[in-house]
Amino acid sequence: MSAIKSQDTKPEKFIRLLLYHSGYRYRKNYKLLPGSPDLVLKKYKTAIFINGCFWHGHGCHISHIPKSNTEFWFAKIKRNLIRDKNKVSDLLSTGWRVLIIWECAINGKIKLSPEDIKTEIISFLNSGLEANSIQGI
């Protein structure tokens, strides 16, 4: 468990590279906002979370409860879901927009192409939506 990273994960680096090469500038792990979003685009007043499907209980093929110690894992993932919901509602109540990018959109069996992910992100930034998520097909 101690080897699991919470910052600078491969999916985060992938999304940062996509945004940077598309001309978007961002802040990483911005501590001044609730939940310390993985990426913050101040110009668009947008917080981006890149969530691991297992840790955040997405419900896709990557997300499953381990067969051993199931009570512990069920409780842990449930706490994570509650925490995620609270931090998103805190951000929305302060006028920030929230985009959640799920791991299955980047790494899973049903992943999107990099071009599709970039298109989804850019269309969210240019839309008037308050919140959205990008997930595998």
**Ranges of each domain in the chain:** 10-134
CB 97 within 8 A of CB 65: no
Q: In angstroms, rounded to a whole number, what is the distance separating the alpha carbons of residues 117 and 43?
A: 20
Phi, psi of 45 (to 5 degrees): 50, 50
Q: What tens digit of pLDDT does each residue of 25-81 get? A: 999 999 999 989 999 999 999 999 999 888 898 888 888 888 898 999 999 999 999
CATH of domain 10-134: 3.40.960.10
pLDDT (0 to 100) of residue 102: 94
Q: What is the pLDDT of residue 5?
A: 54
How many whole angstroms separate alpha carbon 16 and alpha carbon 71?
35
Two structure tokens written together for 63:
């997300």
Query: pLDDT tens across 82-128, in order?
Result: 999 999 999 999 999 999 999 999 987 889 999 999 999 999 999 98
C-alpha separations of 105 from 41, 43, 51, 122, 129 in Å: 21, 25, 10, 15, 20
The string of pLDDT tens digits covering residues 6-31 is 667 889 999 999 999 999 999 999 99
